[in-house]
Amino acid sequence: MGLPEVPSVEEVISSMRMPRSKFRENAEYMLAESDVFERALKSDVYRQLWGEKKYPADIDTLFQMPVLTSAFYTRYPERDPRIPVGPVKEGSDAWLCSTGSKRMKFYPFSDYDAKRLGIYGARSHAIAGMSPGDTLINCGAEPPHCSLAMSQWMAQTYGENSVPVVRGMKPEAVMQELLKNAENVVGMIGVPLISLRFLNTVTEKAGRPLKQLFPKFKSAILGGEALNEQQRASFRKLGIEGYGIYASAELCVPAAGCSNNKGSHLFCDTNVYYLKTDEGVKPIWACDNGDIGELFVTTPNREAFPLVNFSTNDVIEVLDKECPCGITHPRINVISRTDDVLNVGGAKAYEQHIEEKFEDVGRDHVIPDWQIHWSKDNDSGFHRFDILIDNDSLDVDVIKEALLKSLSNDNRTEQLYQAQEAGILGVEVHALPHKSFGEKVVTAQHKRVRIVKKF
């Protein structure tokens, strides 16, 4: 028992079409061959969670085990929090990656984990039509933002080239380098909003369409925040296709965007995934179309800090089992991420559903970007949404009316509308010039924060 050898790029790409009948057999094999439970017991976290109880390594047992709700590693508290990523010598060769939280927690990857991460990231690239050796624009995909750190490790693992575009670097500073590589650039890795803004700025300053600047540029792999349909359409206007990925600090890149459909394929040949619904718990591959629940995972092939019955706190929906793209692994849609649920005086809604309402309004009005500043009066319990919009030519009353109408017409968001009608929630829209919007908007670790709590 132990850890398997890291597969080749060819092997992980071919396994995208693993027969569905093999998923359970593969999961049972991974658990039986792995020493994940023994390795987990080396951590104080699991010893406190499990006590002295020994659990057999099988799928059905996983569903009955105590749930791990926080996977952040705290073994090296003496680590300088100002150093976001680097090798540590105490006890292992783990890499510590900052999650970007205010408390600067860290999560470890061993060299083995980093290599596997890079190889499995090849799936996202293959779906997006990229190959090892391609030159990519790397826009915001570097440590400590470890959900997208796979781009760095892919470069180390099998020789991919990338032109970095890091936070704070003006497009002019990299224009010359990009244009030197113009004939070879085929794609981009990054965060949706930042990547769009960067590409639009480059084309504006060059005075030429993107495809004239980079004839081979065809796709972008996008994570860190949800890729919405409005953003996908904006990438298509530039002549390229955007592929969203589902990623997290704990799991890195467990899924890859689908080339034909909404959602991402959750790959079941490296981790064991299962869904907790109102009816109970079942493996992800046994779920039916439309099943909704909380995603759990066990990572038999992670070395530095294995996860056993870990709750992602992400609510997902399982989509069609059969996908036209040919990938056999289950396709999912992420309904809400951790902390995405808003509770406004008892009225609840998911952040993603609120974002969809802005997409609805954006079909008739140009809304390049927006952010909600959410405040609360603790004495009265009154909540207030100050909505900042990056377009000072809009009529704020028209936008407010359109947004409230969209909220009221959807049973997923109508509670917010009802809270506004009941006087629990106040809504004000502020249409700002681009410069003023940029000064007021709040960002965190390359991500656009859509809703900012001010209390």
| CA–CA gap between residue 61 and residue 187 (Å, rounded) | 43
- Answer whether 292's CB lies under 8 Å from 335's CB: yes
Predicted confidence (pLDDT) per residue in 51-80, tens digit: 877 777 788 888 888 888 765 544 333 333
| 350 secondary structure, DSSP code | E
pLDDT of residue 201: 81
Q: Over the stretch 192-208, which tens digit does the pLDDT of each residue have?
A: 877 887 888 888 888 89
pLDDT at residue 366, rounded to an integer: 84
Tell me what the mean pLDDT of segment 25-46 comes to.
Answer: 83
Question: How many angstroms separate the CA atoms of 242 and 239, rounded?
Answer: 10
**The CATH homologous superfamily of the domain defined by 118-244:** ANL, N-terminal domain (3.40.50.12780)
The answer to whether residues 376 and 382 touch, using CB atoms and an 8 Å cutoff, is yes
Specify the higher pLDDT residue, 190 or 267. Answer: 267
Question: What's the whole-model pTM score?
Answer: 0.70
CA torsion sign, 430 to 433 to 435 to 438?
A: positive
Computed from CA positions of residues 50, 55, 57, 58, in that sequence, does the dihedral angle turn out positive or negative? negative
pLDDT at residue number 448: 62
* Residue (of 317, 311, 293, 302) closest to 271 by Cα position: 302
**Which sign, positive or negative, has the C-alpha torsion 318, 320, 323, 324?**
negative
Q: Write down the mean pLDDT value for the chain.
A: 77
Better-scored residue on pLDDT, 20 or 322? 20
Per residue in 282-319, is it b (16+ CB within 10 Å) or e — as a string?
Answer: bbbbebeeebebbbbbbbbbbbbbbbbbbbbbbbbbbb
Report d(CA 57, CA 369) in Å as an integer. Answer: 48
Residue range 133-180, pLDDT digits in tens? 677 777 754 433 333 444 444 444 434 455 554 444 455 666 776 777
- Per-residue pLDDT of 381-417, as tens digits, reads 899 999 999 999 999 999 999 999 999 998 878 889 9
Return the CATH architecture of domain 341-453.
Answer: 2-Layer Sandwich (3.30)
pLDDT tens per residue, range 229-281? 778 888 999 999 998 888 776 676 678 888 776 788 998 988 999 999 888 88
Q: Are 214 and 188 in contact (CB under 8 A)?
A: no
- Domain residue limits, the chain: 9-71+250-336, 118-244, 341-453
